């Protein structure tokens, strides 16, 4: 223990070093960026290809399938899914977490560019996105007003958007619900026919007439000039005056040319008023809380401008406030836990100076950890704060053990405090190092094993805990001994009267255990039986659900609109639901309602009052709302619940070739699944399809007229959906240009049949002469998974039901459900994620136990004694978790699994300290049984102190409802797992570990005796 000797020999240097480290951490705490989550790169690529005014089948055939085929050649693709609708193709690629998305994004763009020639010519843009958690908007604003803001894009862009973009730390600002104006060229079909003008001719002329090129350079008079022909339109009047034929016919004679706002295709409501959305993202590394505060200050100044009179700006989702509240909750819980731990330490130590020496390891360790986070370029977020919170109760463990040993030796050798202190530290030095190593080493499988979203997040928690514990170990072996050597030995260093009575009782129990090995073995067996009872099938007192269904104080209600409808009709349905909600606002505990709707989709988000103001629980609010929820003719609104930790909930996927057949199977299966107990609100993402007019081109008649099917389809596309042309530029920048027919010219099938087409010879024919028409249905969205068309059925889980509980019932039903050849089914991502998470956590826990075994085997130089601690501490700690969860009615979720992983590293510390002291006493000459009894008496108080501080440090989290990030999974399952397992294991292992030590020692001696008998060597008993 050279570092301990140096600390004792040079006290001023020791104090100065730790004060400097603490000051560094204090300064770092002001410089560390505050985030909700660390900037973790998400292992996915999102490809978006806009293609407005088409059909889902056309988008799937012309865009989605060719792009999927190209992207499928990328290496490492874990899952591919796509959505094709009438406006765009969306393709999502999921990779493993160990892949570099920067490189994969470049590869994906190259693959898409390689098939760009196969895509329709009027596909203008292809977007390839890769992202991280830091790219998510940090602030969502909503703008509402009594006046119409639909034409206010320029004003909001100039006054609001651009000013927020100039705020330091802001990277991107987007406006939603109001669009920039565009030049709309609306052709009049009757005038086109009257003047014999072809649609293609108009389009080609417009494209040729709006250009910007460089024509080279000329030299004149010794000066060099660039030559640039100007062919760009400078006003809408120039576009209208464009000559389109030899008879001096102008574009304005056959079309309406105007600068106007696009037709509104979606809308937003905030508390029943039409709202405009603003989303703000921050730059990488910027302090989220500071950025959002600066933005809100700027928004307040903007709201005072004369142009913004009568316009209200609300912050719907402020991540800065969420982070501030979440960190404050964690900080308050940590402070309360630390205060309780200090009180318990004082009750044990009965001396203020000694208590302060022990607790000094907490602030110094935390400050050192904050400094390490800063220099490691990490942020202070809910994950690192979670690590600090978990570490608080464990930071005094090493100091308690060292201080207890130091004072015991100082009592024996009062004349030489420095030598006694050094002897005390040396006695427990290896045990303390091993105990810290076992706590740290359980995180190695997480940090260096298979990467999933949970392990990536937990790595940030692990780094914080590891640094804090290593700092506490250094402090316990340097600063604490140096201070302990200079204070008076506390009175009754072995404890007060109550502690003495408890120690005497414990000694008598040990004597009985060592004298009655068979009865003790029976008691251990019965304790194990009691521990496993809560998870036995007949009782099932503990509910297992890796990702329980979340029902926080924010409810999401999709309307499940059937088919496409005019925007006004969808908005009327939204208004009806909102009127019902606001008529019962106080009864439903509603604070605010935000709704979004378009022609085929609508949803409302209900923000409920906070827990301290609530009169009803979330489940009671849901039941009350659903009781009299108005029925809608165009949809079926119902609540949808997320799963804690990002789980996907119940879902089932049907795959096959025909979208129509899949839709039929999905409808049949949803009716069957509605009968399954535990499943509620079963729904299919299949749809009946939108009614459409299907145009079948007669190739023979088209060829006789000098037309191809492609010519006909192109003319229909321009007339019906329109086509984007090259942008028009004015003083404010680029403005979109769109060519289409007037709405009045595309209202009926008769108008479509009269659509004029022109042959290469200039002859005019109508569409009806070369094509036939029939009414049919087309799906609104075509979904594909792994390049196969799919339909997904989803459902909410009833209370007290989990995925594991409904899974066998659904499997039995699907075995009886007949699928056509070529069609298949499988459980969705919720089940896969559930199984993957449970398998991953179980593997990491077993690997953690194996690592702990290696550390203890090296410490004890034995392969048997580590089993005494593993069986006596770890096994009973897990049983204690089940008993505690059964007693408190806590669901065993993935957060509880995280708690067990941390627990197994903590719970062995007591056994290590105890067994190491037994071995030391035996080395000094005591017999085994006397050494066990003496070690038990010496180590009882420090073990109880460390356990009490850890438990009390986590108590605020265990009894509270604090959630990860304020809206994530709650902390209490993890805290309760650690508390329940540690408490039960401590009580049991204080008796079981000595008994198992005696069993394994006897086994070791019997084996040695047997080997010596075989070798004819004398045997010397060690009793």
Give SS3 for 451.
coil
Say if residues 176 and 279 touch (Cβ distance below 8 Å): yes
- The structural domains of the chain, ordered by start, are 1-31+350-493 (1.20.1640.10), 41-132 (3.30.70.1430), 198-253+690-779 (3.30.2090.10), 497-540+829-1013 (1.20.1640.10), 551-641 (3.30.70.1430)
Q: What pLDDT sits at residue 770?
A: 82
Burial of 627 (0-12, 13-18, 19+ CB in 10 A): exposed
* Dihedral, CA of residue 689, residue 692, residue 698 and residue 704, to nearest 10: -140
Q: What pLDDT sits at residue 493?
A: 47
Look at the chain and count its residues. 1023
**Euclidean distance between CA atoms 138 and 288, whole angstroms:** 7
**Euclidean distance between CA atoms 512 and 506, whole angstroms:** 10
User: What is the DSSP secondary structure assignment for residue 677, as one 8-state letter?
Assistant: T
Say if residues 952 and 340 touch (Cβ distance below 8 Å): yes
**Ramachandran bin of 589, using left for φ above 0, alpha for ψ from -120 to 50, beta for the remaining angles:** left
Say if residues 993 and 872 touch (Cβ distance below 8 Å): yes
* Dihedral, CA of residue 752, residue 755, residue 759 and residue 764, to nearest 10: 130
Say if residues 451 and 96 touch (Cβ distance below 8 Å): yes
Q: What pLDDT sits at residue 23?
A: 95
Q: In what helix (H) or strand (E) does residue 179 lie, and over which residues does it extend? A: none
- DSSP symbols for 819-841: --TT-EEEE-HHHHHHHHHHHHH
For residue 376, count other CB atoms closer than 10 A to its CB: 9
| Cα–Cα nearest to 482, from 563, 561, 402 | 402
Task: Return the structure tokens found at 339.
Answer: 């205060």
User: What is the DSSP secondary structure assignment for residue 285, as one 8-state letter?
Assistant: T
Give SS3 for 927.
coil
**Euclidean distance between CA atoms 514 and 713, whole angstroms:** 93
Task: Return the structure tokens found at 225.
Answer: 């000039």
Residue/partner pairs of 303-309 with CB below 8 Å, 24 or more apart: 305/159, 307/155, 307/159, 308/159, 308/160
Give the dihedral sign, CA 85/88/92/93.
positive
The angle at the Cα of 501, spanning 495 to 507, to the nearest 5 degrees, equals: 100
Mean pLDDT for back-to-back runs of 10 residues, the chain (1023 residues): 87 92 91 83 89 81 91 89 87 88 89 89 84 80 81 85 91 86 83 80 81 72 75 80 82 85 82 87 84 91 87 84 79 78 79 84 90 90 84 83 86 85 89 89 86 85 92 92 85 64 89 89 90 84 78 83 85 93 91 88 89 83 90 88 67 85 86 87 71 78 79 77 75 77 75 77 78 75 85 84 86 88 86 82 88 89 86 89 91 88 87 86 88 88 85 84 74 91 89 88 81 65 51
């Amino acid at each position: 223990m050279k570092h301990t000797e140096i600390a004792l020999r040079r006290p001023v240097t020791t104090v100065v070093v730790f004060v400097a480290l603490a000051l560094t951490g204090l300064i770092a705490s002001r410089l560390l960026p505050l985030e909700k989550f660390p900037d973790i790169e998400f292992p996915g690529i999102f490809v978006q290809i806009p293609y407005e005014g088409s059909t889902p089948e056309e988008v799937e055939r012309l865009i989605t399938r060719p792009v999927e085929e190209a992207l499928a050649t990328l290496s490492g693709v874990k899952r591919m899914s796509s959505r094709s609708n009438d406006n765009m193709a969306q393709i999502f690629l999921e990779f493993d977490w160990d892949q570099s998305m920067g490189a994969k994004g470049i590869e994906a763009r190259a693959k898409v560019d390689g098939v760009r020639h196969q895509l329709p010519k009027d596909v203008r843009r292809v977007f390839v996105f890769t992202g991280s958690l830091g790219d998510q908007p940090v602030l969502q604003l909503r703008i509402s007003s009594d006046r119409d803001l639909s034409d206010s894009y320029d004003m909001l862009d100039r006054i609001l958007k651009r000013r927020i973009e100039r705020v330091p730390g802001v990277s991107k600002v987007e406006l939603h619900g109001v669009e920039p104006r565009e030049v709309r060229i609306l052709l009049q079909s009757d005038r086109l026919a009257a003047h014999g003008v072809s649609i293609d001719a108009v389009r080609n002329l417009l494209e040729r007439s709006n250009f910007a090129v460089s024509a080279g350079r000329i030299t004149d008079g010794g000066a060099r000039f660039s030559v640039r022909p100007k062919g760009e339109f400078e006003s809408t009047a120039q576009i209208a005056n464009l000559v389109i034929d030899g008879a001096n016919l102008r574009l304005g004679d056959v079309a309406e040319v105007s600068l106007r706002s696009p037709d509104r295709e979606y809308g937003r409501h905030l508390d029943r008023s039409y709202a405009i959305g603003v989303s703000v993202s921050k730059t990488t590394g910027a302090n989220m809380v500071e950025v959002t505060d600066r933005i809100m200050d700027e928004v307040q100044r903007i709201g005072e401008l004369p142009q913004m009179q009568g316009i209200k700006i609300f912050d719907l989702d402020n991540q800065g406030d969420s982070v501030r509240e979440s960190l404050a909750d964690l900080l308050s819980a940590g402070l309360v836990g630390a205060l309780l731990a200090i009180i318990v330490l004082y009750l044990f130590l009965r001396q203020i100076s000694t208590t302060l020496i022990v607790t000094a390891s907490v602030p110094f360790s935390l400050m050192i950890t904050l400094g390490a986070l800063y220099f490691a370029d990490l942020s202070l977020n809910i994950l690192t704060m979670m690590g600090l919170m978990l570490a608080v109760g464990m930071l005094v463990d090493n100091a308690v053990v060292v201080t207890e040993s130091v004072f015991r030796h100082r009592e024996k050798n009062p004349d030489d405090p420095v030598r006694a202190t050094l002897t005390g530290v040396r006695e427990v030095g290896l045990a303390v190092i091993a105990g810290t190593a076992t706590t740290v080493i359980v995180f190695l499988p997480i940090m260096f094993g298979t990467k999933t979203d949970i392990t990536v997040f937990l790595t940030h928690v692990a780094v914080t805990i590891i640094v804090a514990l290593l700092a506490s170990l250094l402090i316990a072996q340097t600063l604490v001994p140096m201070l302990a050597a200079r204070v008076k030995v506390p009175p009754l260093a072995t404890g007060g009267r109550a502690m003495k009575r408890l120690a005497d009782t414990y000694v008598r129990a040990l004597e009985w255990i060592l004298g009655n090995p068979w009865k003790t073995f029976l008691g251990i067996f019965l304790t194990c039986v009691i521990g496993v009872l809560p998870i036995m099938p007949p009782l099932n007192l503990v509910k297992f659900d890796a990702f329980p269904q979340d029902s926080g104080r924010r409810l999401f209600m999709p309307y499940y609109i059937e088919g496409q409808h005019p925007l006004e009709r969808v908005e009327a349905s939204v208004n009806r639901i909102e009127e019902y909600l606001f008529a019962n606002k106080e009864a439903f505990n509603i604070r605010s309602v935000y709704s979004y709707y378009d022609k085929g989709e609508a949803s409302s988000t209900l923000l409920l009052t906070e827990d301290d103001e609530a009169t009803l629980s979330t489940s009671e609010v849901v039941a009350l709302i659903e009781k009299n929820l108005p029925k809608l003719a165009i949809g079926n609104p119902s609540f949808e619940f997320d799963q804690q930790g990002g789980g996907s909930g119940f879902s089932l996927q049907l795959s096959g070739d025909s979208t129509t057949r899949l839709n039929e199977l999905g409808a049949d299966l949803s009716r069957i699944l509605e009968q399954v107990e535990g499943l509620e609100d079963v729904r299919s993402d299949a749809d009946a399809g939108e009614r459409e007019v299907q145009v079948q081109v007669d190739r023979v008649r088209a060829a006789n007229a000098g037309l191809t099917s492609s010519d006909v389809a192109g003319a229909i596309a321009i007339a019906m959906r329109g086509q984007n042309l090259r942008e028009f530029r004015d003083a404010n920048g680029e403005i979109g240009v769109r060519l289409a027919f007037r709405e009045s010219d595309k209202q009926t099938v008769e108008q479509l049949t009269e659509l004029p087409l022109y042959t290469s010879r200039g002859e005019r024919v109508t569409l009806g002469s070369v094509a036939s028409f029939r009414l049919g249905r087309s799906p609104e969205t075509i979904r594909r998974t792994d390049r196969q068309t799919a339909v997904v059925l989803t459902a909410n889980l009833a209370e007290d039901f989990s995925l594991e509980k409904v899974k066998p019932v659904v499997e039995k039903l699907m075995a009886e459900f007949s699928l056509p050849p070529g069609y298949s089914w499988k459980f969705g991502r919720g089940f896969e994620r559930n199984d993957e998470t449970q398998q991953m956590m179980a593997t990491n826990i077993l690997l953690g136990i194996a690592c702990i075994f290696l550390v203890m085997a090296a410490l004890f130089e034995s392969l048997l004694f580590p089993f005494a601690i593993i069986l006596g501490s770890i096994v009973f700690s897990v049983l204690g978790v089940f008993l505690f969860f059964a007693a408190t009615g806590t669901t065993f979720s993935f957060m509880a699994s995280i708690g067990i992983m941390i627990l197994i590293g903590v719970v062995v510390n007591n056994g290590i300290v105890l067994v190491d002291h037994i071995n030391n006493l035996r080395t000094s000459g005591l017999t085994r049984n006397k050494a066990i009894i003496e070690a038990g008496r010496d180590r009882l108080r420090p073990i109880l102190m460390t356990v009490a501080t850890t438990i009390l440090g986590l108590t605020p989290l265990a009894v509270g409802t604090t959630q990860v990030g304020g809206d994530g999974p709650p902390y209490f399952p993890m805290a309760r797992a650690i508390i329940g397992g540690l408490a039960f294991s401590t009580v049991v292992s204080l008796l079981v570990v000595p008994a198992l030590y005696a069993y394994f020692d006897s086994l070791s001696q019997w084996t040695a005796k047997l080997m010596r008998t075989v070798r004819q060597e004398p045997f010397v008993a060690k009793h």
